[in-house]
Structure 1
Amino acid sequence: MFGGGGMNPRKMKQMMKQMGIDVTELDAEEVVIKTADEELVFTDAQVTRMDAQGQETYQIVGEPETRALGAGDEGGDDDAADADAGIPEDDIEIVAQRAGASKDEAREALEAEGGDLAAAIARLE
């Protein structure tokens, strides 16, 4: 970052604090970067937020999985239908599990809420 390779991490943190840079590790489960033609999906990535003079910068360390935009898992008929609807199978499973609902009910709630997981769960509860 500042050419401090080999510097004591504690001393580096102290120097950054003196310079007015606040560093926070985030407990991120997944990071998705959407480009014009693909998605980069980082799972189990290290995410660090640096706040320097009111400007927030995020650093992601990990290996991304690359997938085409709008592509879901292409294993079975249910997955293909979900990809057509634009609702990822993982989202349907999360909503169904959290709300104690069937996959069909979860899919309908997600479609009604435009893919918003929290709103779909609230709708079913």
Structure 2
Amino acid sequence: MHSAAKAYGQVAQQIANPRELEARLLLKAAARLQHVREDWDKDPSDLGEALLYNRKLWSVFLTSVTSPDHEMPAAIRQNIANLGLFVMNHTIEISRDPRPEALVALININREIAAGLLGQP
């Protein structure tokens, strides 16, 4: 987990806008999950790696928004934390009972949060 946070921090320093970085990472995770979903019948072997990437990303978000010195309003932080907990629990469910349609929720959450971070409707 530490390596994911470290990598996130290093990339964040290279990009001026942290919101844009977060959006890009969420879109990358969504794309990986979408690829697994689309190729499920051919080869679902990338499922574990895609779920792991998404889980690490959300772990970083959860750690960040639950920090008492985070600048975001408490209500928004709570909403992000709740989404993060859903993502974690849903990931466990998918790991127990892998189904391509179960990936849709994770893909949509990542895309919607990314759109919000980028200021898109």
- Which TM bucket (shorter chain)? under 0.3
As a proportion of its length, which structure holds more strand?
A: 1
As a proportion of its length, which structure holds more helix?
A: 2
Q: Choose between structure 1 and 2 for higher RCO, CA contacts under 8 A separated by at least 6 residues.
A: 2
How does the TM-score come out when normalised to structure 2?
Answer: 0.23
How does the TM-score come out when normalised to structure 1?
Answer: 0.22
